[in-house]
Structure 1
Amino acid sequence: MEHVEIDEAVEQLHTILDVVRWSVSRFNEAGLFFGHGTDNAWDEAVSLVLQCLYLPQEVSDQLFQARLTTEEKQHILSLVNRRIHERIPVAYLTQQAWFCDLPFYVDERVLVPRSPLAELIQAKFDGFLNNEPQHILDLCTGSACIAIACAYAFPEAQVDAVDISLDALEVASINIEEHDLLERVFPINSDVYSALNEQKYDLIVTNPPYVDAEDIADMPEEFHIEPEIGLAAGEDGLDIVHTILQQAPQHLNKGAWIIVEVGNSLVHVQQQYPDLDLKWIEFKNGGDGVFAVQKETLEAYFGSE
């Protein structure tokens, strides 16, 4: 958008609804891709505008008729302009995202939270836990959104938030401190399990890099803004998943489960592990490509040490 067009919009738009409608039209005109917390232009525009105004994501219809100051309109439309021309996801523009109804700081050092694992966490992993877990591992933690959400779900649990990326762990540490969980959620720099020694867990949850080479090549521009280390995992997307599964039994307590998200690479998992008894999870709120498998099942498949 030209500066003249933005200046004209700032002058002629007045209410929150005016700015949202104008932004939706510009997003549709630009052919943006939505996949970082929203799936359509309206929700994307509403999220951006309300965040810029420091308002909750759910507001009354009456508030949409509130008039904006010139400074507010200029700020919002400058970010709309960046969203269109730089293809930057809204979460990076506002440095905020939501997961399990909790706010998280995010920037380009981590993926934007959007995992269907949120539904499992909010259900307290119903069907996979006989007792409240005391020690949980979040592998490939990124922003630590999964680790922190697990800490809220299980107030007595300690959660280890592991990532190979020091950049990601800096973001994780910001979120751990902002959620006042320094005593229960611990960021750990580790290549999968390498720095965990003999530590065992009552539950392991992981959303590792799992995008295969073909999908990486075909991704919309918005996804290329995210760190590739958090997405790409070799030709079939399973480079890290293989290690996670093979070594998991060493870090699971008796009867414990590991929950793994593999997204579109589920087809590769099914092809490469046809005889492994994986429990594929169905989600009420959408999403797929997540399976659960128990310690003893993995030991029988890979052989125990």
Structure 2
Amino acid sequence: MSEPTKQAHSFQHITDLAQFPEELRGSVVAIGNFDGVHRGHRTVLDYARQEAEKLGVPALAMTFEPHPRTVFRPDHPVFRLTPSHIKAEILKAEHLDGVIELPFTKEFASMEAEDFVKDILVDKLAIVQSITGYDFHFGKGRKGTPDFLREAGETLGFAVTIVGAEGDEGGTIISSSRIREALAEGDIPLTNGLLGYRYFVEARVQHGEKRGRELGYPTANLKLAENCELKLGIYSVQIKIDGVMHDGVASFGRRPTFDDGAPLLEVHVFDFKGDLYEKLVSVSFIGYIRSEQKFDGIDALIAQMDKDSEEARAMIASMRPLSGLDMVLNADT
């Protein structure tokens, strides 16, 4: 798999086909959900980029928002590895020319597969080639199989490439579901290995109870999605503040020693002084240190936090980049 090394290119995030830029017609388009933009997804994206370079045309990704499973089961929304804006950030780092984000509704899901191909891929986008994974289906009743798409391409004049499953070093297929399961187990090495970059979240720092400051461990408090399935516990992390990466230790939990409240990500930034309130920051996860626990007193809590900080520093010191993409996403900007 080729690796991106820079981000200095134009990138367009398109959410309305009525505003589709004329200069992007005739592109190679990779189609899929791409939640996580993991190593398997990036094999599809690499094909699209390489084919586009051969043809001298733009390379685009087409995704769907919200996640289709959330539309069909709104009472059980999918835990998103990469919300829309983060997905676009990664696709930009992958050196695509843009992403087309189609609104996914029940009405859209009921569109006949033939209409999706003719009305969108051909008439609106005038694609020259589509690249999809082996398990991509579309249209009413999931009629749009890989074979259906290949036959439609032959009829309507665009090439079709179907990319097979991508396995990890042990041969197990890489999937978004598998990554979600790894996060729920606190298995950060597996998560990051399957993604090919360090898993990260973005949120705005909010005001808290300021207990950390009183304990000598001031924290940046971040509220993650309500359906976030990340395992509760203590993590070694890096946090990007105003474009600069800083080392830290974080707790994702309910604070059982104090209030046992709603889950909150609390990041203590090593050797940092400054006001972080209302800043939009990103937090990259490096390792899982321990589970959350309740302490009998403040002294015992502080002693454990000291140990956690030492372990977090050691994990960060031994960290190595996972890929060129990992280097791009975690570079100072």
TM-score by length of 1: 0.25
* Structure holding more helix per residue: 1
* Structure holding more strand per residue: 2
If asked which structure has higher relative contact order (CA below 8 Å, sep 6+), I would say 2
